[in-house]
Amino acid sequence: AQSVTQLGSHVSVSEGALVLLRCNYSSSVPPYLFWYVQYPNQGLQLLLKYTSAATLVKGINGFEAEFKKSETSFHLTKPSAHMSDAAEYFCAVSDGNSGNTPLVFGKGTRLSVIA
Amino acid sequence: NAGVTQTPKFQVLKTGQSMTLQCAQDMNHNSMYWYRQDPGMGLRLIYYSASEGTTDKGEVPNGYNVSRLNKREFSLRLESAAPSQTSVYFCASSDRVGQFFGPGTRLTVL
């Protein structure tokens, strides 16, 4: 079965600094990988997804993620943090062979941005 | 286009009471899901429905039942609520792009 590990339950960065949120996955088949963002008291919003096309995936709000099969990683980055990026971020893997199947989520990383 | 809607937004129950959480989507998606979110646990799948008329158990189905009423609606029922079911419940639907989530229902069981 697929699983996801997010390193660091809380990450704090200064405004303008690089954001790096780590995600490692375990999957027996080529995975579909996702990053979601959750703002306080809201549902989850899709940031980006990997579906075996380009290994560098660009998403909304300036975020991107790189799929590295050799490291089983799918880390999320943003070159310059903004105050509005403060939220909880979830990495997820599709428990199947398409994006249209249940997701297995990591436990989440809360991002704080310091002025 | 409202996306995924959930009712109610908040609910407080006493142990042993029953209730149904409602979910509807207007994106013509075949697949729908129920997850629960607990602090430090991420989201865990309760039940899902790959198409109208089918449902399958997820990781944490005990204490819950579901009904896929039609293509649009997927409800989650707690027959006898327990304090361990205090959580935030999210409904989602999906297409090839990904899963789209509702705003959630915050449930407290006393």
In SS3 terms, chain A reads as CCEEEEECCEEEEECCCCEEEEEEEECCCCCCEEEEEECCCCCEEEEEEECCCCCEEECHHHCEEEEEHHHCEEEEEECCCCHHHCEEEEEEEECCCCCCCCEEECCCEEEEEEC
Query: Chain B closest CA to A43's CA: distance in Å?
Result: 4
CB distance A9 to B40 below 8 Å: yes
Q: Which residues does B contribute to its contact with A (CB < 8 Å)?
A: 4, 30-31, 33, 35, 40-45, 48, 50, 58, 90, 92, 94-104
- pLDDT tens string A85-105: 999 999 999 866 666 789 999
Please answer yes or no on whether B40 and A107 come within 8 Å at the CB atom.
yes
pLDDT of residue B73: 97
Residue ranges of chain B with pLDDT lower than 70?
none
Q: Which of B27, B34, B45, B99 to mutate to test the interface with A (most CBs of A within 10 A)?
A: B99
Query: Least CA distance to B39: which residue of chain A?
Result: A107
**The pLDDT of residue A110 is above 90:** yes
Q: Is A35 on the interface with B (CB under 8 A)?
A: no
- pLDDT tens string A21-61: 999 998 777 788 999 999 988 899 999 998 877 889 999 99
Return d(Cα A18, Cα A40) in angstroms, integer. Answer: 22
Residue written as token pair 């896929």: B68
pLDDT of residue A81: 97
Question: Which one has a higher pLDDT value, A96 or A83?
Answer: A83
Query: Least CA distance to A1: which residue of chain B?
Result: B59
